[in-house]
Amino acid sequence: MRDLVIHVTHRPGEIARVAGALAKKDVNIKSLAGIGMGNQGVIRVIPDDFDAARTALKDANIRFEESELVSALLENRAGELDEVASKLANVGVNVQAIYVIGLDGELVEVAMAVDDIKAAKKALE
């Protein structure tokens, strides 16, 4: 699984610009995260069709980066995220972004962008 990292100016209409470009290519957004700080913002998107999303952003002249994600299935209870985050921290892996990508009863699936995908996968085995 991969995500798209889109750096934007923190101003009205930027989310609409990105979402509109994806919609024009019939790309559905499975999950997203965003934050604005000062005059800059970052929108991170997990699309349902990665290739179409890449094309949509290129066609709209929207610059982006790509990153591979690692996922984990957690019980929906206190302490689960701490356990996963500690496993990653103990092997020196930094989490750059985290998404909730699924909920099923007492389970929560998360996807994380990390600085060392190989080490993260090994730590979470």
Q: What is the pLDDT of residue 78?
A: 95
pTM of the model: 0.89
Determine contact, residues 5/42, Cβ cutoff 8 Å: yes
The span from the CA of 87 to the CA of 123, in Å, is: 6
Which stretches in the chain have pLDDT values below 50?
none
DSSP 27: P
50-59 vs 14-24: helix crossing angle, rounded to 10: 120
Q: How many CB atoms lie within 10 A of CB 39?
A: 8
Q: Which domains does the chain have, with CATH numbers?
A: 2-63 (3.30.2130.10), 69-123 (3.30.2130.10)
Q: What is the pLDDT of residue 87?
A: 97
Q: What is the pLDDT of residue 57?
A: 98
